[in-house]
Structure 1
């Protein structure tokens, strides 16, 4: 066999599903391939060649779009395009057209040869069987789309999900008449309109719980049982964002607005048409769970969720939102179970979240960062209750896969289980005396948000500390200097500097050397401008609006964050699929040349933005 054929064989052997083929089959395969070259911008699959081939991308990049012109995926080295070899039903469902994003080389294998390989090698065929979007999935076994189902809710808009005009009535309609209207139209919810204004909504659950179970007369006006405070979405909201809103709030109906006017309603059942409602069902299971053991079983699915979302084309932002919403639901259910066991709390309190969960940027293996904020009404003897509650929740989260914080920044630690007065004192000391430990804790707690906070304790605390920090330029300068300590791993000649030796030889830490620097930059921009948002993307967007950095700078950092975080998520998904514990050590050799090039550009950008921030605050004084 000549050198070129050997090189092709080695390439195929290193990429799934060809790595499932026996060596003798692989040795024969290169002679059955044809090599085709496409210039950048050419249509793909090719229009002028025999369509009955599966294409294997050897070098380059291809962008794929659906019939509506929406980007549904990208192909890189080793990826397959098999739409021309699918059975008619699957091919119609997955039909796409794209173009080469750069000069591209592919191997083409006739569909007849592919069929022979699938028939002879079940493990090879399984790859293609699993990728059909018509394969039945059970909602409790699979929590998101399979690789072939495209991005689904990642690209569809709410306007594509609205099926009918909303069914509505007025607030003075009797409960009996409202129930009749719902029955007549076969709907589980009814919008309550006061003229053109959306006044509220009634669901079948409201009829059961607020009327029948409460013994309320059915001739009472329907506004007596309606929900007045509603979460709404616009027609152009992404389906994924609507799903996350439902998941986070544990609700099943969302009124849809256009220009402030109600034009429709979507429910959790609408998502089943897109085969992507599994996280809704997962959260439903969480709220029905009656023990830590049951929650732990649900928590064990979160790593699978991360893998399937990444394989389905989700970005890191979308994965972080999904996992954070589910973790919020688990945390809230643990709090409810603790209160059911311990009784009502003696005084108001808020459960505080820190770190990636607070920013809604969590991954499946994140550790805990949490605390308790207790009303100043608390007496010393009340701590026994809150200590028991904190231990129950922290132990429960650990059982669900969210391990204890290595630094013990958890509510079970008495230091982080304090009254509002003490928390104000903590933040004041960190701001006035920005020592290294104070800066580390600021990075955790200035990202905070709350769960289970009906009295608004966290909001009161947050407003105070945001104003205090914004007004203290010295503190901001120390935070800026601290943000420059983690530098991107870029050498003098723009090569990626790697770890040498040890367990992580020839890798770099993508979290601490690439992701954390952007998160830290965004935090400094937010604090300097008095911005209350804690999500990194939102901080950068609002900071640009307020002039804390340029719009181009914000947009570039957001793009860099998405690239880096998605590469990290993909790396971890690969490890999880291979039964390995996920980590943050990425080998550049695992990336395509295109990805490595973009990664270097992101590192250059981060370094430039760090230098700019350092000059603004003269951070050399605080080194």
Structure 2
């Protein structure tokens, strides 16, 4: 036998779960292992990377597993020799939820999942071990040279509030299952299943589940003639029934079906067979859940060839947002996933235009601005973008600009077909004002920022919320350098932006009543965008620019970062962050309900609790307004 293979097999048998396998099995695994050498600080995979086809064991050195939550990096675990990590590809289909980085020179063994999977299916100890680690709810804090096989679940997205397990992997299942008694005949149950179009029936005794009958039982036991159709259903049911809690995740359901070799799980009030039935999870439900899994949607986007295919995916994204809000998944998570899918759609629209037009004549950057640039576009609102191309020789300028204007036009029309309306103010890469060379853009930002009063006709503060969708990172960096250089001690600019932020109408009247629209089609409704969200968005932008905080566009994250950078006022910033989430959620729910932008809210239709939430969320705005006036000494507030 190959000595390297032998050495790896010897190493593995010292650690769990490999100590449950024979030396022959270990040698087969070792023969397929890839040895990966990592330099200090080298990343093996990072948050949101596409899953690898292997999981990993540390052979020597140290791997740190971390996530970035609330604008800070949090170390979840330190993996020493023998530790397994990166189990996510075993059980989930969407991308990595953490980063794995070498803390020193490290060697890891990459074990192909296809090679290892048969050993999992045939060995309960190995499966239980992986199941336990995959479904761990709290990150292990073991930090010890001798901690063998110290684990961390790759399913977690860690925030300081709690670990939300696979937040996008919750399941929809039948919560009005067919319930029958042990004495019912098979023919009666088969008829009910056919009428209700169900593929299972739960057999109960005094409301507690004792077994389950599926269409598989019908075909393998009745259709084959093993039992007559007149027998009572308890003769053919599977028993005991495998039970789970109501909030079962996709991964847990998959594992339980695999482990117990069943196709259905029974959902009960406390997750045991000693409480009432609440529903049934079928294999089909798992397939449906995976189809609306963000990783799957992004893969489909990359394969799409037409705007119509992309439109179908955007419709599924809306369903995903709706389900997630209904399941009370934190809005920050919903926004993160939505913006990844939105960006994949934008990117594919640009790629399809390039495929049609041929290669670009120069390097460029397509930047999303506004709510897309801030990654806050949960609803189908309009598109805002700019295009920056590298400087070219004067004689080529015209031809190059024509190509990019054409690219802008094709792409914005594709995006309109997908469902993103054209920007009514023309803030798009198809507009010759917003499609130009890097030098021209630098002049534009210089003008806006150094003489804001004179050149403010077309200055919209959304031009300071930009995010690269496609193209050269260096071009975006060059724009950022100009913005932050000009922002430094620029009283005139902050005076202009500060007054602009304060000019937004106050949401509450002097008597603390919500100010409603007085005329027009939205009479008597509350404009949550202009009166509540915009002042927070403007305030967050103003303070991040004045503190020189680069690379953070999202309003919620901006406030969280400001609380760290400017601790004296951290309470105001944190209150504003929470208010922004509450208001965004109210607007999104309204928009999904009415299939519009959610801008105008009918207070009559709000529940008492939501009205209270809305009023409470408006309270921090007064403090933010005072802070803006004091920090920037704005007296000419109009």
TM-score, with structure 1 as normaliser? 0.59
Aligned to 2:564: 545
For the 8 Å contact 2:525–2:602, the answer to whether it is kept is yes
For the 8 Å contact 1:166–1:263, the answer to whether it is kept is no
State which of 495, 501, 507 in structure 1 corresponds to 2:525.
Answer: 507
Shift in alpha-carbon separation, 1:191–1:468, aligned structure 2, 3 A = farther
Classify the secondary structure of the residue corresponding to 1:373.
Answer: strand
State which of 179, 182, 194 in structure 1 corresponds to 2:38.
Answer: 194
Shift in alpha-carbon separation, 1:438–1:201, aligned structure 2, 3 A = same
Classify the secondary structure of the residue corresponding to 1:322.
Answer: helix
Q: Distance in 2 between matches of 1:614 and 1:528?
A: 14
Q: 1:480, CA displacement in angstroms?
A: 0.6
For the 8 Å contact 1:394–1:412, the answer to whether it is kept is yes
State which of 287, 303, 319 in structure 2 corresponds to 1:304.
Answer: 319
Q: 1:345, CA displacement in angstroms?
A: 1.6
Classify the secondary structure of the residue corresponding to 2:635.
Answer: helix
State which of 318, 335, 355 in structure 1 corresponds to 2:370.
Answer: 355
Classify the secondary structure of the residue corresponding to 2:456.
Answer: helix
Q: 1:498, CA displacement in angstroms?
A: 1.9
Shift in alpha-carbon separation, 1:258–1:294, aligned structure 2, 3 A = closer
**C-alpha offsets along residues 203-260 of structure 1, whole Å, 9 cap, x if unaligned?**
99999xxxxxxxxxxxxxxxxxxxxxx99776759xxxxxxx99xxx98456655996
Q: Distance in 1 between matches of 2:407 and 2:153?
A: 38
Aligned to 1:70: none
1:574 equivalent to 2:418? Answer: no
Structure 1 unpaired stretches of 5+:
1-163, 168-178, 208-229, 238-244
Q: Distance in 2 between matches of 1:491 and 1:413?
A: 39
Aligned to 1:19: none
Aligned to 1:588: 603
Q: Distance in 2 between matches of 1:453 and 1:205?
A: 24
Classify the secondary structure of the residue corresponding to 2:493.
Answer: helix
For the 8 Å contact 1:348–1:374, the answer to whether it is kept is yes
Classify the secondary structure of the residue corresponding to 1:418.
Answer: strand
Aligned to 1:599: 614
Q: Distance in 2 between matches of 1:569 and 1:469?
A: 33
Aligned to 2:444: 426
For the 8 Å contact 1:316–1:569, the answer to whether it is kept is no
Aligned to 1:475: 493
**C-alpha offsets along residues 283-308 of structure 1, whole Å, 9 cap, x if unaligned?**
11101101222212222333323322
Aligned to 1:452: 470
Q: 1:317, CA displacement in angstroms?
A: 3.0
Q: Distance in 2 between matches of 1:432 and 1:363?
A: 34
Shift in alpha-carbon separation, 1:352–1:259, aligned structure 2, 3 A = same
1:36-55 correspondence runs (5 A): none
For the 8 Å contact 1:368–1:403, the answer to whether it is kept is yes
| Number of equivalenced pairs | 412
Aligned to 1:403: 421
**C-alpha offsets along residues 506-531 of structure 1, whole Å, 9 cap, x if unaligned?**
22101110011100000110111111
1:535 equivalent to 2:554? Answer: yes
1:368 equivalent to 2:383? Answer: yes
Q: Distance in 1 between matches of 2:566 and 2:546?
A: 11
For the 8 Å contact 2:336–2:375, the answer to whether it is kept is yes
1:1-12 correspondence runs (5 A): none
Q: Distance in 1 between matches of 2:474 and 2:577?
A: 31
Shift in alpha-carbon separation, 1:385–1:440, aligned structure 2, 3 A = closer
For the 8 Å contact 2:96–2:154, the answer to whether it is kept is yes
**C-alpha offsets along residues 393-414 of structure 1, whole Å, 9 cap, x if unaligned?**
1111111100101011111111
1:111-122 correspondence runs (5 A): none
Q: 1:195, CA displacement in angstroms?
A: 7.8
For the 8 Å contact 2:364–2:475, the answer to whether it is kept is yes
Shift in alpha-carbon separation, 1:599–1:583, aligned structure 2, 3 A = closer
Shift in alpha-carbon separation, 1:435–1:622, aligned structure 2, 3 A = farther
Q: Distance in 2 between matches of 1:195 and 1:419?
A: 39
Shift in alpha-carbon separation, 1:375–1:325, aligned structure 2, 3 A = same
Q: Distance in 2 between matches of 1:440 and 1:468?
A: 18
Aligned to 2:329: 314
Shift in alpha-carbon separation, 1:465–1:490, aligned structure 2, 3 A = same
Q: Distance in 1 between matches of 2:557 and 2:462?
A: 17
Aligned to 1:520: 538
Q: Distance in 1 between matches of 2:40 and 2:302?
A: 35
State which of 598, 607, 619 in structure 1 corresponds to 2:634.
Answer: 619
Q: 1:201, CA displacement in angstroms?
A: 6.6
Aligned to 2:178: none
For the 8 Å contact 1:348–1:455, the answer to whether it is kept is no
Classify the secondary structure of the residue corresponding to 2:440.
Answer: helix
Aligned to 1:286: 301
1:487 equivalent to 2:502? Answer: no
Q: 1:368, CA displacement in angstroms?
A: 0.7
Q: Distance in 1 between matches of 2:560 and 2:45?
A: 33
Shift in alpha-carbon separation, 1:373–1:251, aligned structure 2, 3 A = farther
Shift in alpha-carbon separation, 1:369–1:476, aligned structure 2, 3 A = same
Structure index of larger Rg = 2
Shift in alpha-carbon separation, 1:472–1:592, aligned structure 2, 3 A = same
**C-alpha offsets along residues 565-609 of structure 1, whole Å, 9 cap, x if unaligned?**
111111122223xxxx34311122333333323322332320232
Shift in alpha-carbon separation, 1:232–1:314, aligned structure 2, 3 A = closer
Q: Distance in 1 between matches of 2:50 and 2:571?
A: 49
Q: Distance in 2 between matches of 1:181 and 1:417?
A: 55
Classify the secondary structure of the residue corresponding to 1:451.
Answer: strand
Q: Distance in 1 between matches of 2:28 and 2:468?
A: 40
1:342 equivalent to 2:357? Answer: yes
Aligned to 1:558: 577
Shift in alpha-carbon separation, 1:518–1:201, aligned structure 2, 3 A = closer
Aligned to 1:135: none
Moved more, 558-567 or 373-382: 373-382
Aligned to 1:18: none
TM-score, with structure 2 as normaliser? 0.57
Structure 2 unpaired stretches of 5+:
1-14, 19-26, 54-64, 69-73, 78-87, 104-142, 144-149, 157-165, 170-249, 253-285
Shift in alpha-carbon separation, 1:541–1:582, aligned structure 2, 3 A = closer
Supply the RMSD in Å over aligned alpha carbons.
Answer: 4.0
Moved more, 596-605 or 395-404: 596-605
